[in-house]
Amino acid sequence: MATVPDITVPLRLLDLPRNLPARVAEVDWALLSPPEARRLRELGLDEGVEVALTRGPGMLGGPVACRIGRMTVALRRHVAGAIRVEQGG
């Protein structure tokens, strides 16, 4: 995948092209409930961690699958929407 768009401004993980590696720029923890935020941290999500979207929400708005470090994790849409990513993977 050489002709992927440049990510210059932080993009939501939800909007990232499939399988394009990126780095977590910031997480809007306020959009998440406290248990959600804690579980997300426990799954290794943190600023600077490498992530990629491996399966988007689909037309029906189902969950998304993403890679966090070397782990694959299922998230609901709104969680993937709270994660901002930048180029570099």
Partner 1 sequence: MNHTPLVAVAGNPNAGKSALFNALTGARQKVGNYPGVTVERHAGRMTLADGRPIELVDLPGAYSLDPSSLDEKVTRDVLLGNQAGERRPDAILIVVDAANLDNHLRFALQLIALGLPVVIALNMVDLAERDGLTLDPAVIERELGVPVVATVAVRRRGLEDLRARIGEAASRAAEAPGAHQVEHDIVALQRRARQIATAATLSETATRRWTHRIDSVVLHPVAGMAIFTALMLVMFQAVFTWSTIPADAIEAGIGALGDIVGGALPDGLIRSAIVDGVIAGVGSVVVFLPQILILFTFILILEATGYMVRAAFLMDRLMASVGLSGRAFIPLLSSFACAVPGIMATRTISDEKERLATILIAPLMTCSARLPVYTVIIAAFIPNTAILPGLGLQGLVMFGLYVAGIIGALIAALVLRRTVAKGASSGFMMEMPKYQWPRLGDVLLGLWQRAMIFLKRAGTIILVTTIILWALLTFPRAPEGQSQIEQSIAGRIGAGIEVLVAPIGFNRDISLALLPAMAAREVAVSSIATVYAIDDSESGAGETALRDNLRTRWSLPTALAFLMWFVFAPQCISTIAITRRETNGWKWPAFMVGYLFALAYIAAGITYWSAVAIGL
- Residue among 14, 40, 37, 9 nearest 25 (CA): 9
- Angstrom distance (rounded) from CA 56 to CA 64: 5
Q: Is 31 in the site for partner 1 (CB under 8 A)?
A: no
Q: Is 35 in the site for partner 1 (CB under 8 A)?
A: yes
Q: Which residues from 59-78 bind partner 1, rule CB under 8 A? A: 59-63, 65, 67, 69-76, 78
Q: Is 33 in the site for partner 1 (CB under 8 A)?
A: yes
* Helix ranges, 21-84 (H): 34-42, 77-82
Give the DSSP letter of residue 6. Answer: P
Q: Judged by CB, which is closer to partner 1: 11, or 79?
A: 79
- Residue among 89, 3, 12, 1 nearest 51 (CA): 89
Q: Judged by CB, which is closer to partner 1: 36, or 86?
A: 36
Residues of this chain that bind partner 1 (CB under 8 A) = 33, 35-36, 38-44, 46, 49, 54-55, 58-63, 65, 67, 69-76, 78-79
